[in-house]
Every structure is written in structure tokens, then in C-alpha cells.
Structure 1
Amino acid sequence: MATAESEIPNPQVPEAVSPIKIVLEPIKNNDDGITIYLEGQLTINHVEEIQRKVELAMSQFGTVRIVLQAVEMIDLSVVQLFFYLTRLAIEDDNDLSFEHDLSETSTTRIVDAGLAIYPNLA
């Protein structure tokens, strides 16, 4: 006969949260601008961190450029955050833009959702 202890399934150990890399760099020839580079897993696990850093940059600079590069995953929570940040930029009279090196499929889905996001031409 099995004991009650052996009948209780082992709890799943949560997977480690994948890293995200956020780098801020002044925009050359623009004293009032900054570029924010986002890399890695752009998921709900990192929304608050991204939001905090972008809002801080928008409070200090008139021009904020967000560049998505080497993105392993992007989920709907981050796309929704980008919508929110776009509205916030309009309300606060900031110039906010997005560039990326995402796959064509990801780009199409984001654009179909209504967010203006442009391929990185650099």
C-alpha cells in the first residue's frame, strides 16, 4: 500500500527566468535623445523592468529610440507595453520610435496588431 507521501506529486521547480539585456546609449548628434537596446527574452517576466527604464528615459529625454536586437522571444505583454509607451509618448510630447531585427513573421504579427515597428536599417 502506498503512503500518502508517495501519492503527492513532486512540485515542479520553476524554470530560471531567462536573462534580458538592456543597454542605454546616447543618440549621436542629438543632445536630447537616447537609444535603448533590448535583447533576449522579452516576456512578461521583464515587463516591469523594461517599463521602468523606458519611462525614466522618456522623463529625461525628448527622443527615445528602442532597438530590439537578438530577441529570442517576444510575448503579448511586451507588445502591450509598447502600445502603452507609445500613448504615453504622445501625451508627453516625446518622440518614441522602434527598430528591430525580428523575423518577418514576428514583424507581421506586431504590425497587424497595430504597432508601428520598423526593421533596423543600420
Structure 2
Amino acid sequence: MQAHRNHPGWWAALVHRLSGLALAVFLPLHFLALGTALTGADALDRFLDLTASPLVKVAETGIVLALALHLALGLRVLHVEFLPRPERRTRAFVAGCFGISVAATLLFLLNLTA
């Protein structure tokens, strides 16, 4: 394993890109789902019945995690690019981004089960 792959910034950049890809895959599917509302209430109701499956709930949780990671790590990129001081605490900053993302996902799960 190469030395740069041990750096937390490398992992943060990788996860930021992968979460962006997950969101890019999700978005057309989301638009397709919203498009069922245009064909009528019955079509939308049938689609919403499909979303009650546990597999869809797991996928929803994954997309919430991807969205939270992409947001937090995107803010990290803005911090690195635009703030004048160098980032000295990369490991702590990346850990904070991951922690905030996991906390947001857990809040979503708590709301999902309520």
C-alpha cells in the first residue's frame, strides 16, 4: 500500500467522490419516482407501496448517509481551498465530517422507526 493512501485526506477525497457517484445514480431514479405522480394518484400509491419494503428502507438510509458525507466532505474541500490557514488537523477534521454524517444518518433512522 502506498504511503499517500494512509493519509486521512486521501480517504476523505475518495469517500467524497464515491458519495457523489451514489447521488448521481440516485437522482434519475428519484425523478422517475416523482414522475409517477404525473400519471395519477393510483400509480403513485402503487409506487409508494413498493417503498415500504425493508430493502428500500436500507437503501434510503444509505442514500442519506451518502448525502451527509458528500455535504460534510464538500465543506471540508471548501475549507481547504478557500481559508487562508493550512489545515493542520486533517485527521480530526475528517473524523468530524464522518461523525457528523453518521449522526445525521442515525437521526434519520430514529425518525424512520418512529
TM-score scaled by structure 1? Answer: 0.24
More strand by share: 1
TM-score scaled by structure 2? Answer: 0.25
Q: Which has the higher contact order (CA 8 A, sep 6+)?
A: 2
